[in-house]
Amino acid sequence: MCAVLVKLGGSVITDKSSYRCFDQGSADRLAREIASSGERALLVHGAGSFGHVLAAEHRLQKGYLDQGQLAGLSKVQLDVRDLNLMVMRSLDRAGVHGVSLPPGAMGLMEGGELKDLDLGLFRRYLDLGLTPVTFGDVVLDSRRRFGICSGDQLMYLLAKEFRPERIVFCADVDGIFTSDPALEPGARLVEEVDRRTLEDLPRTSRVADVTGSIYAKVEFMLRLAELGQETMVINGRAPGRLEAALKGEKVKGSVVLGGSR
Ligand code: IPE
pLDDT of residue 160: 95
Q: What is the mean pLDDT of residues 232-248?
A: 97
172 lines ligand 1 (CB under 6 A): no
Least-confidence region, from 35-49, 117-131, 140-154, 175-189: 175-189
Distance CA(222)–CA(43), nearest Å, equals 19
Run of H or E residues at 244: helix 241-246
183: left (phi over 0), alpha (psi -120 to 50) or beta: alpha
The pLDDT confidence band at residue 2, using thresholds 50, 70 and 90, is confident
**What are the structural domain ranges in the chain?**
4-256
The pLDDT confidence band at residue 102, using thresholds 50, 70 and 90, is very high
103 lines ligand 1 (CB under 6 A): no
Q: Quote the pTM value.
A: 0.95
Distance CA(165)–CA(16), nearest Å, equals 30
pLDDT of residue 205: 66
Name the residue of 52, 133, 206 to mutate for ligand 1: max ligand atoms within 8 A of Cβ: 52
- State the DSSP code for 39: -
9 lines ligand 1 (CB under 6 A): yes
pLDDT of residue 41: 96
Q: What is the CA(83)–ligand 1 centre distance, in A?
A: 11
Which CATH number is 4-256 given? Answer: 3.40.1160.10
The pLDDT confidence band at residue 162, using thresholds 50, 70 and 90, is very high
pLDDT of residue 181: 86
CA gyration radius for the chain? 17
Q: What is the CA(151)–ligand 1 centre distance, in A?
A: 6
Which amino acid makes up residue 126? L
Q: What is the mean pLDDT of residues 6-12?
A: 97
Name the residue of 211, 218, 224 to mutate for ligand 1: max ligand atoms within 8 A of Cβ: 211
- Smallest CA-to-CA distance from 159 within 222, 243, 248 is with 222
Distance CA(23)–CA(11), nearest Å, equals 9
Cα 218 versus chain centre, distance:
12
Tens digit of pLDDT for each residue in 192-236?
Answer: 999 999 888 877 766 667 887 888 889 889 999 999 888 999 999
Run of H or E residues at 133: strand 131-135
217 lines ligand 1 (CB under 6 A): no
